[in-house]
Structure 1
Amino acid sequence: MAKIKNIVFDLGGVLIDLDHAQAVRRFKEIGVEDAEQLLDPYEQKGIFLEVENGTISAEEYCEKLRKHAGKDIPYKDIKHAWLGFITDTPQYKLDYLLKLREHYNVYLLSNTNPIIQEGWARTTQFTPAGRPIGAYFDKMYTSYEVGVTKPDRKIFDYMIADSSMIPAETLFVDDSKANIEVGRSLGFATYQPANGEDWREAIDALLK
């Protein structure tokens, strides 16, 4: 294996702990009865996918969701439902990223949306330390800003071209089997943690 110079992290299931069932429950509570069919732990469907791949804005998504549910849902309730995915943001993992950045380029590659990002992750509410998510990475590549979601290889190609990273010198950490397979096919070293796993020792071992 080539010497690793870059590390790319997924967000949900890797840096933050996820609860898919809680998100489904919250969306059902605000009137989205088919939430189970639309919400996916790895890649959303319908208007949920549209807002994550940047096809529609947060405002357009909220309007479409209200029409879909047939009722006027306040924005704060929509945001609360989305944040149902998140059960914990372990500070120790983020502190570990800061240590990694002393020796490596550290990137985020995430399927996410402007409601979670602008309304929470990019604010001081993101962690107990009061830092926004951007404080922990050299650069972030999010699906709604790039315009494509994983596992489509176009988002990987965009990140590679923009950052000038060499896949053989890059470790890709993601909890999705489909995403890991694409990363591996492009030449990345990979690690697939379980949701909630403390993967620091495993990453250390790979970097030695």
Structure 2
Amino acid sequence: MKKLENVDFLLFDLGNVIINIDYSFTINELTKRLPKEKHNLTSDFFPAKFHKDYEKGLISTLEFRDAVKNHFQESWEDTEIDYLWNSLLKDIPNERIELIKQLGEHYGLAVLSNTNELHIDAVNELLKKQFGASSLHDIFDEVYFSHELQLAKPDPNIYLKVSELLVTPPDNILFFDDLIENIESAKNIGYQTHHVTHPQALISYFENVQH
């Protein structure tokens, strides 16, 4: 594999870049459990302030679960809430992990994800089941989560922070994300970027740069 010039670190988002996610699946699961008059509450679930606060580590998992119960006015068990919350996490395609391992021979590898404690616990379970890895740290050199940094994409400060933590100038970092607002913000800081728009995007990007 030919190394890209002026790229020291590859930085990957998680959702729909490494792991497939499906928000509509969670919305359907919620709808199944709720009476019809509460179905309208599902559309406010992911954009809710308590979700953003949880993503930034401003509230605990306990407080997050309470906020979910409060939002839907349902007395769900913790296990039910955790299931619903994590149900958007699907599979991690083998070919993506194989590619990452190959890329690790030429570049530093890092993750930058807007995420939370419950999701990461579930991702670690998936990694163990699928690849025998205990966490993302087994696959990547550095792993940065919004809830640990208390910053979230597309805030420019998160990209500056990651560049500082990687001890790598922004223009030597190539960043992959599926959301255009995250890509644009990183680009403004000086990152090299690639917008992931379909399931084969990572594979095809590195195939194309070889030619």
**Normalised TM-score (structure 2):** 0.87
Residue correspondence of structure 1 range 107-186 to structure 2 within 5 A:
107-118=110-121, 120-123=122-125, 125=127, 127-131=129-133, 132-186=135-189
Would the aligned equivalents of 2:160 and 2:170 in 1 still touch at CA under 8 Å? no
**Normalised TM-score (structure 1):** 0.88
Tell me how far apart the structure 1 counterparts of residues 199 and 86 of structure 2 sit (CA, whole Å): 16
Looking at CA atoms only, which structure, 1 or 2, has the larger radius of gyration?
2
Counterpart selection for 1:55 from 41, 55, 58:
58
Q: Does residue 69 in structure 1 map to residue 72 in structure 2? A: yes
Q: Does residue 95 in structure 1 map to residue 102 in structure 2? A: no
- Listed as ranges, the gaps of 5+ residues in structure 1 are none
Larger % of helix: which? Answer: 2
Aligned with 1:26: secondary structure?
helix
Tell me how far apart the structure 2 counterparts of residues 61 and 158 of structure 1 sit (CA, whole Å): 26
Q: Does residue 36 in structure 1 map to residue 38 in structure 2? A: no
The residue type equivalent to 1:201 in the other structure is S
Number of aligned residues:
203
Identity of aligned residues (%): 23
Match for residue 79 of structure 1? 82
- Listed as ranges, the gaps of 5+ residues in structure 2 are none
Would the aligned equivalents of 1:171 and 1:189 in 2 still touch at CA under 8 Å? yes
Tell me how far apart the structure 2 counterparts of residues 64 and 29 of structure 1 sit (CA, whole Å): 20
The Cα shift of 1:124 comes to 5.6
More displaced, 148-157 or 23-32?
Answer: 23-32
The Cα shift of 1:101 comes to 1.2
Change (3 A) 1:185 1:108: same
